[in-house]
């Protein structure tokens, strides 16, 4: 690297004489495992030189691992090193998922001259997009523990439930038996400041001239980044060439895409798995080898529509024929739990009593998930959790015909609290005739960040505010006889840390208090979830 640090890479090359286009894959998870070896051999057998590299401070590479902060310039130097080798023809692409996806964006922003195309899979977003709380999520301490030191740490030996319950957050790492410097440093920056902005890329698409293949799944716990990146590049990339040459694939997958047809209690059928390796090879064959294989003649968006469990190609994201439809909250003031009187409908409310509940951070609403950071949530059944009185539940009548919801989901929520700061969580669910309440997507807002992650401001107790809650994206058909349901609560633990309701500096204290929450749905304050409804053709 330019600062003299040596990074270790394994290079796979075709048996034939070169030179060849090259593919760079940089990872903190170890370059020598079976999956990496398979990837190297697969692409080398198709005429590519493949560089699998341990990032700085991990595996066999020298230096100190500080997540993300060296990856832009290290990626640049690796790409240019590869291009200069006698076995490379100067055409270089990058690929990889999760951490490997995000660091491609950071490298691309340094504008390495020989980078020609990317495949970014399940890419994390900018700071605070996935977790708009001002502090890292509890699961992040698991990831930092796993990647501490040079080799992968065994996360299964830790009682993560005990770790996540620890307060104050700033010393949560001690419960793992390790002091994690990155956790402590991130806890010092509880707003979007210049320290975090060094890792931002989603406001810099205009600087890029690059074809990108974007891949994720509807149940990827970092899903929100992929549609944002595709839409951002098609609108704001620096050249018309780049804007017209983006593609996106969204399957019914978790963070580890295209591995199984089943997720949780659901099986999405044999068609839910695709030849993803073959598609990625076609992408690189076109952009790095110049092969006219027809891939760019196909529509740019490929979506798996859950509920009917089939793939569909589209021309844009969000879909051009989207009918943005508000479904309003209604009740007689007793929407607490699924046994309450909360309803959901396209009809705006009139004069209705607000709903109230008590949020106690000592007894947070559970978010159904494994305790490690490998996957957070899925199409889980929330019917049991909806028995709680601190969960407001609003449900439509059983649908008389199919309803497709495909695109970004947002909630406009009118709410007040008697605290100086608190949280509001929103969840969209499909309720089956059996009572199975399938989570589709969800989101949250921390009251102090209602004006933006760079502008924290405590709320005035008792004052009604309009909150916009980004509930990410879905592509789902609600079948005839099913119901649409919205949950409103003030915690989703341990997906997000508990708001202690005091307004104190985030992550530093153990003091907490219960908050009295009020959700409004009347003529002046019509709380509603805004669904991207798609007209059905020939539905019944």
- Please say if 255 is a catalytic residue: yes
How far apart CA 199 and CA 204 sit, in angstroms, is: 11
Backbone angles phi, psi at 108, to 5 degrees: -60, -35
Kindly state the tokens that stand for 408.
Answer: 């970004």
How far apart CA 259 and CA 252 sit, in angstroms, is: 11
Given the residues 54, 61, 98, 173, the one annotated as active site? 98
Alpha helices in 147-202 (DSSP H): 160-164, 181-186, 194-197
Given the residues 255, 330, 476, 521, the one annotated as active site? 255
How far apart CA 462 and CA 415 sit, in angstroms, is: 9
Kindly state the tokens that stand for 490.
Answer: 């003030």
Q: How many CB atoms lie within 10 A of CB 501?
A: 25
Backbone angles phi, psi at 191, to 5 degrees: -160, 165
- What residues have CB less than 8 Å from 363, skipping those under 6 apart? 390
- Please say if 98 is a catalytic residue: yes
How far apart CA 372 and CA 139 sit, in angstroms, is: 7
How far apart CA 461 and CA 440 sit, in angstroms, is: 32
- Please say if 220 is a catalytic residue: yes
Given the residues 126, 173, 220, 221, the one annotated as active site? 220
Contacts 24+ apart (CB under 8 A), 281-285: 281/43, 281/46, 283/117, 283/119, 283/213, 283/247, 284/21, 284/23, 284/43, 284/48, 284/93, 284/117, 284/119, 285/46
How far apart CA 113 and CA 276 sit, in angstroms, is: 28
**β 20-27/49-54 pair status:** parallel
How far apart CA 265 and CA 252 sit, in angstroms, is: 13
For the chain, the straight-line distance linking the first and the last C-alpha, in angstroms and rounded, comes to: 61
Residues designated as active site: 98, 220, 255
């Amino acid at each position: 690297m330019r600062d003299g640090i040596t990074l270790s890479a394994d290079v796979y090359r075709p048996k034939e004489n070169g030179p060849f286009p090259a593919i760079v894959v940089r990872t903190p998870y170890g370059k020598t495992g079976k999956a990496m070896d398979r990837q190297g051999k697969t692409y080398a057998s198709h005429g590519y030189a493949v560089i699998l590299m341990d990032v700085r401070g991990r595996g066999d590479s020298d230096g100190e691992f500080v997540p993300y902060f060296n990856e832009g310039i290290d990626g640049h130097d690796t790409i240019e090193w590869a291009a200069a080798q006698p076995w490379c023809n100067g055409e270089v692409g990058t690929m990889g998922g999760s951490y490997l996806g995000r660091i491609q964006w950071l490298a691309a922003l340094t504008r390495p001259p020989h980078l020609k195309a990317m495949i970014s899979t399940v890419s994390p977003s900018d700071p605070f997009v996935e977790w708009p709380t001002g502090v890292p999520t509890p699961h992040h301490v698991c990831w930092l523990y796993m990647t501490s030191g040079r080799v992968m740490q065994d996360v299964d030996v830790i009682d993560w439930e005990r770790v996540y319950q620890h307060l104050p957050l700033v010393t949560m790492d001690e419960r793992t038996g390790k002091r994690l410097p990155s956790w402590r440093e991130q806890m010092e920056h509880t707003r979007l400041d210049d320290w975090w902005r060094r890792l931002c890329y989603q406001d810099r698409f205009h600087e890029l001239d690059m074809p990108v293949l974007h891949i994720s799944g509807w149940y990827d716990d970092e899903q929100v980044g992929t549609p944002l990146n595709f839409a951002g590049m098609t609108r704001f990339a620096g050249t018309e060439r780049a804007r017209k040459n983006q593609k996106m694939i969204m399957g019914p997958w978790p963070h580890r895409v295209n591995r199984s047809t089943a997720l949780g209690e659901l099986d999405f059928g044999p068609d839910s798995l695709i030849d993803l390796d073959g598609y990625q090879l076609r992408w690189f064959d076109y952009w790095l080898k110049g092969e006219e294989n027809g891939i760019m003649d196909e529509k740019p968006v490929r979506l798996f529509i859950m509920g009917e469990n089939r793939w569909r190609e589209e021309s844009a994201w969000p879909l051009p024929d989207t009918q943005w439809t508000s479904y309003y909250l209604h009740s007689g003031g007793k929407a607490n739990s699924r046994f309450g009187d909360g309803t959901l409908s396209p009809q705006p409310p009139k004069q209705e009593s607000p709903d109230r509940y008590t949020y106690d951070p000592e007894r947070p609403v559970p978010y159904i998930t494994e305790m490690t950071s490998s996957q957070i949530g899925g199409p889980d059944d929330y019917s049991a959790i909806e028995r709680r009185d601190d969960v407001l539940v609003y449900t439509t009548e059983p649908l008389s015909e199919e309803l497709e919801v495909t695109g970004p989901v947002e909630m406009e929520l009118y709410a007040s609290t008697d605290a100086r700061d608190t949280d509001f969580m929103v969840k969209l669910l499909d309720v089956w005739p059996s009572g199975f309440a399938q989570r589709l997507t969800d989101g949250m807002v921390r009251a102090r960040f209602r004006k933006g992650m760079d502008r924290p401001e405590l709320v005035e107790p008792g004052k009604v505010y309009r909150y916009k809650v980004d509930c990410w994206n879905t592509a789902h058909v609600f079948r005839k006889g099913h119901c649409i349901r919205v949950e409103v609560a003030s915690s989703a633990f341990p997906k997000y840390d508990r708001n202690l309701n005091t307004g104190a500096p985030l992550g530093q204290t153990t003091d907490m208090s219960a908050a009295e929450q009020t959700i409004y749905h009347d003529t002046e304050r019509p709380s509603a979830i805004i669904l991207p409804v798609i007209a059905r053709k020939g539905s019944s």
